[in-house]
Amino acid sequence: MKVLITAAALALFSLAAAAQPAAPASAASGADRKPSAQQNRMTQCNQEAGERKGDERKAFMKSCLSGKKASPQERMKACNQEAGGKKLEGDARRKFMSECLKG
Looking at the domain assignment, is residue 65 inside a domain?
A: yes
Looking at the domain assignment, is residue 32 inside a domain?
A: no
pLDDT the model gives residue 49: 85
Looking at the domain assignment, is residue 70 inside a domain?
A: yes
Domain range for residue 81?
38-103
Encode pLDDT of 4-55 as tens digits. Answer: 677 666 666 665 666 666 555 555 555 678 888 888 888 888 888 888 888 8
Looking at the domain assignment, is residue 9 inside a domain?
A: no
Looking at the domain assignment, is residue 12 inside a domain?
A: no
Looking at the domain assignment, is residue 56 inside a domain?
A: yes
pLDDT the model gives residue 9: 63
How many CB atoms within 10 Å of residue 78? 22
Q: How many domains does the chain have?
A: 1
Encode pLDDT of 52-65 as tens digits. Answer: 888 888 888 887 88
Looking at the domain assignment, is residue 52 inside a domain?
A: yes
Report the pLDDT averaged over residues 71-100.
Answer: 84
Q: Are 45 and 65 in contact (CB under 8 A)?
A: yes
Looking at the domain assignment, is residue 46 inside a domain?
A: yes
d(CA 2, CA 9): 11
pLDDT the model gives residue 16: 61
Residues across the chain:
103
